[in-house]
Amino acid sequence: MPRLLILDFDGTVTDAEAEGAPFREGYLTDLAVLTGLSVEEVRALAERFEAEVAADPDRYGWMYEGHIVAPAMVDPYLRIMPVARRVFDHAGAFLREEDRTRLLDGVLYKYNYTKTGIAFRPGAREALEALEGQDVFIVTNSHTEAVKDKVRRLGQRPDGSNSLAWLVDRVHGRAKKYVIDDGFEAVPAQMSLPGLGRPVLLRRRLYFEVLDALRRELGADWSEVQVVGDIFELDLCLPLYAGARVALAVNRFTPAYERAFLEAHPRGAILEDFSELGALLRS
Give the end of a domain, one of 113, 142, 177: 113
Distances (CA, A) of 159 to 23, 120, 127, 130, 167: 33, 21, 20, 20, 19
Do 156 and 62 lie in one domain? The reply is no
Rounded Cα distance between 74 and 2, Å, is 27
Answer for the pair 157, 190: CB distance below 8 angstroms, yes or no.
Answer: no
Domain residues for the domain of 209 are: 4-16+118-282
Q: Which pLDDT score is estimated for 262?
A: 98
Do 138 and 106 lie in one domain? The reply is no
Do 11 and 24 lie in one domain? The reply is no
CATH code of residue 207: 3.40.50.1000
Q: Which pLDDT score is estimated for 69?
A: 96
Q: Tens digits of per-residue pLDDT, 10-53?
A: 999 999 999 999 999 999 999 999 999 999 999 999 999 999 99
Rounded Cα distance between 177 and 200, Å, is 13
Q: What one-character DSSP code corresponds to residue 191?
A: E
Model confidence band, residue 194 (pLDDT cutoffs 50, 70, 90): very high
* Overall pTM > 0.85: yes
Do 10 and 93 lie in one domain? The reply is no
b/e per residue 87-109 (b: at least 16 CB within 10 A):
bbeebebbeeeeebeebbeeebb
Give the end of a domain, one of 95, 113, 131: 113
Residue 169 has pLDDT above 90, yes or no: yes
Average pLDDT value over all residues in the chain: 96
Q: Which pLDDT score is estimated for 136?
A: 98
User: What stretch of H or E contains 18?
Assistant: helix 16-35
Beta bridge partners of 37: none
Rounded Cα distance between 119 and 162, Å, is 18
Helix (H, G, I), strand (E, B) or coil at 117: coil
Do 130 and 142 lie in one domain? The reply is yes
Residue 252 has pLDDT above 90, yes or no: yes
Least trusted range by pLDDT, from 100-109, 148-157, 177-186, 266-275: 100-109
Residue 1 has pLDDT above 90, yes or no: no
Do 123 and 108 lie in one domain? The reply is no
What total of structural domains would you count in the chain?
2
Q: Which pLDDT score is estimated for 229?
A: 98
Give the end of a domain, one of 81, 113, 145: 113
Residue 105 has pLDDT above 90, yes or no: no
Do 146 and 256 lie in one domain? The reply is yes
Q: Tens digits of per-residue pLDDT, 45-102?
A: 999 999 999 999 999 999 888 899 999 999 999 999 999 999 999 999 999 989 998 9
Answer for the pair 267, 246: CB distance below 8 angstroms, yes or no.
Answer: yes
Q: Which pLDDT score is estimated for 63?
A: 87
Q: Which pLDDT score is estimated for 217?
A: 97
Do 85 and 144 lie in one domain? The reply is no
Do 155 and 252 lie in one domain? The reply is yes
